[in-house]
Every structure is written in C-alpha cells, then in structure tokens.
Amino acid sequence: MRGASVNWHDTECGAYEADLTLWEELAEGGVLDLGCGTGRVSHHLARRGHAVIGLDAEPAFVDAFNERAEQLPALAFAGDAQGFSLDSVFDAVLAPMQLIQLLADADQRAGCLRCVAAHLKPGGRAAFAIVERVPAPVAGPPPLPDTREVDGWVYSSLPIEAGVDADGLRARRLRQTVSPAGELEEELDEILLAMLDAPTLEREAAAAGLAPAGRRAVPPTADHVGSSVVLFERPA
C-alpha cells in the first residue's frame, strides 16, 4: 500500500489537538518543529503567521508535509534530530509528541540538545514534551480505535497496552487495515520511549548550553495521556 506510513501517522496522530494551544503560546517568530511528521503542529502555526521549518527522519512524512503546505510559510527537510545542521537559526524550537524520548539514551539526547542550542537565536526558547511516568489505568470502557479512510482503504489503530520494562516505556497498538475489497490485515505496532523526567532533561540541557526556563503541562484527554513540557532558553 503506497503511503502506508503516512496514513498510519495521520490515523494515530493527525487528530490530536490538546497540545496546539500551548505550541501557539510558545511559538515566536521563526519556528523549528522537530519530529514534524506530516505537519500537524507546523501547519497549524503557519496558518497563524509563523514561518516554520520542519525536520523529520522519515522522508515520506517530509514529502507529505510539503505537499500539504501549499501556500503556507512552512517547509520540511529530512534529518535526524540527534544530529542536524540547517542554514537558519530560530526564535523557537519545539519538540512535540515526546520526540526527545524516541532517542535511545543520554548520548543521543545530548546530540539533539547541542543541535537545538546551535540553532536557537540568543534569547530563543526551546520546548520539549515528555511523558515522565506510566499513565494510570483509566476507569470506564476501553478506548475506541483511531480510524481513517483513504481511497477506500480503512485504517484502524487500537491502543492495547502500555507499561515499563528494562528498556523504557513501551506502548503497543493493534493496527488493522481493510482493503476496498474487504480484506483484513492486522499487525502489532510498538513504540519505545526512553524513561525521562524533567530534572534529568534540565541537567542534560545545561551541559549543552541551554538554561532552564520553566515547565508547562498538556492535560490528558479521554484518548491520550498528558505530558510535561520542559522549557529552555539560549542565554543572550
């Protein structure tokens, strides 16, 4: 299925809006969106007048981002968050959706933090969303799957399990695809987030030349866990 990775990304992430108000508040001037995906946050900010550069390691996401940007002041590039070099510096660098926890360890995070510091203007601000602990079980009925239909294909993604093991916070989803002919395929998808708390991230960022600038929160929703947003500034 052509574009399956984009369709899954849109199915599982595209409708999430709980964090957008905070990113609007934190965005200033030119913005770098790390782990931009297909443009959920970047396009939202661009529609509100910000010039946004997106960075993502998945070329298919970058292609979709740029196709959808149309006349918006938004452009994405393929690149690795733990080691990137762009020709611009930014007023704000944003890392939504636990991007920093997708990096495997402190060494990889250090690479990312150094790059962020190098791409911030003096006085510029960086913000990283993290999940600091395993979410408590929610009472009530089980969650409904995220669903999306594209060209007659139906994509369904159901969260089935989340927990901590020796490697980190592991979340699993059951992905089901129904073809236009009614054929069903399914697979388990897994995401591993490194365990990370705000004090640890603040210590690591200080070593990269970023000063702590407070913390904010994204509240949980019926379908998504909440997150902490840890803020930093590049000293002027």
pLDDT tens track of the chain, all 236 residues? 447 899 999 999 999 999 999 999 999 999 999 999 999 999 999 999 999 999 999 999 999 999 999 999 999 999 999 999 999 999 999 999 999 999 999 999 999 999 999 999 999 999 999 999 776 655 667 778 999 999 999 999 999 988 888 899 999 999 999 999 999 999 999 999 999 999 999 999 999 999 999 999 998 887 778 899 999 999 98
- Domain range holding 159? 146-193
Q: Is residue 140 part of a domain?
A: no
Q: Is residue 219 part of a domain?
A: yes
Clarify whether residues 170 and 75 are in a common domain. Answer: no
Clarify whether residues 36 and 50 are in a common domain. Answer: yes
Q: What is the reported pLDDT for 236?
A: 86
Share of the chain above pLDDT 70, in %: 97
At residue 226's C-alpha, the angle toward residues 222 and 231, to 5°, is 155
| Rg of the Cα atoms in the chain | 18
Clarify whether residues 65 and 94 are in a common domain. Answer: yes
Alpha carbons within 13 A on the beta-carbon side of 172? 8
pTM for the full model?
Answer: 0.93
Domain count within the chain: 2
Clarify whether residues 150 and 171 are in a common domain. Answer: yes
